[in-house]
Amino acid sequence: MSLPDLFTSPRRTLDPIERISEVLFGLIMVLTFTLTLSVAEGGQGEVRTMLIGALGCNLAWGVIDAVFYLMAALAQRGHNLTAFRAARSENDPVRAQGIIAGALPPMIASLMQPAELEALRLRLKQVPEPKKYVRLTLDDWKGAAGVCLLVFLSTFPVVIPFTFMHDVTRALRFSNAIAVVLLYVMGYAFGRITGRRPVLIGVAMVVFGAALVAMTIALGG
C-alpha cells in the first residue's frame, strides 16, 4: 500500500471480534422481544406483533451501526490525513518523528529507532499532496451494508420457530434453545480468538448474555 492509499483505502469491513460483537448485539436485542412474549396469552396476533417488533428493531439498529461504521471510516481516514500533513509541515525533525510515532500502533512505534522514523519522515516529504478532504469509497458503503445485514440477520434463527410452530410454548422453548447455542458458539469463537479456554468462555457467554437480556428487559428495553 502506498502512502496516499491511507486516505482512500477502505476500512476493513469487520474483524472477527467485531463480527462476534455485532451478532451478540443482534441476539440480545431479539431476545428482549421473544422472552417478554406471554405464553399464556400468546395468540397469533401477539406473535405477529413480536416478530414485526423484533425484525424492525434489529433493522433499525443495523442501520444505526452502519452509520457509525461509516463515521469511523471517515474519522480514521481524516486522522491519517491530519497526521500526514502535520508531519510534513513540521520543520523540527524530532517533533516530526514524534508525530509519526504517535500515528503508528503503540507496539510498532515502540520498536522504531530514530533513524527509521527519520527515514519515514523523509519519505513523507516525497509523497504527492493528497486531496484536500477525505471521502467515503464504494467499499466503505459495502462494509456498512455488511454491518447492517449482520445485525439484522442475527434475528432470524431465534424467531424462526415462531413462524413454523403454532404452539407458542414449544416455539419459545426452541427459540431459547437456539439462542443458547448461538451464544455458546459466539463465546467459543471469542475464546479461540483471545487464546482463552473456548468451552469455558462459551458457557460464560451464555450466562453473560442471559444477564444482559434480563437487565435490558428490567430497564424497559
Tens-level pLDDT at each residue, the chain (221 residues): 445 455 555 555 567 788 888 888 888 888 888 877 654 455 667 777 878 888 888 889 889 989 998 998 888 888 888 888 888 888 888 898 898 888 888 888 888 898 989 898 888 888 887 777 888 888 889 888 988 888 888 888 888 888 888 787 788 888 888 988 999 999 999 999 888 899 999 999 999 888 888 887 777 65
Compute the distance between CA of residue 211 and CA of residue 159 in angstroms, rounded to an integer: 20
Task: Using DSSP, state whether 209 is helix, strand or coil.
Answer: helix
What pLDDT does residue 43 have? Answer: 60
Q: How many residues does the chain have?
A: 221
pTM across the whole model: 0.74
What pLDDT does residue 129 have? Answer: 78
- The long-range contacts involving 18-25, CB below 8 angstroms and separated by at least 24 positions, are 19/150, 20/186, 20/189, 20/190, 20/193, 22/65, 22/147, 22/150, 22/151, 22/154, 23/150, 23/151, 23/154, 23/182, 23/186, 24/183, 24/186, 24/205, 24/209, 25/61, 25/65, 25/151, 25/154
| Beta carbons within 8 Å of 79's beta carbon, 6+ residues apart | 103
| Beta carbons within 8 Å of 11's beta carbon, 6+ residues apart | 69, 72, 73, 76, 77, 140, 143
Which of 47, 27, 12 is CA-nearest to residue 213? 27
Which of 12, 15, 51 is CA-nearest to residue 30? 51
What pLDDT does residue 7 have? Answer: 54
What pLDDT does residue 173 have? Answer: 84
> How many CB atoms sit inside 10 A of residue 154's CB?
22
What pLDDT does residue 1 have? Answer: 44
Compute the distance between CA of residue 75 and CA of residue 152 in angstroms, rounded to an integer: 25
What pLDDT does residue 40 have? Answer: 45
| Beta carbons within 8 Å of 154's beta carbon, 6+ residues apart | 22, 23, 25, 26, 27, 30, 58, 182
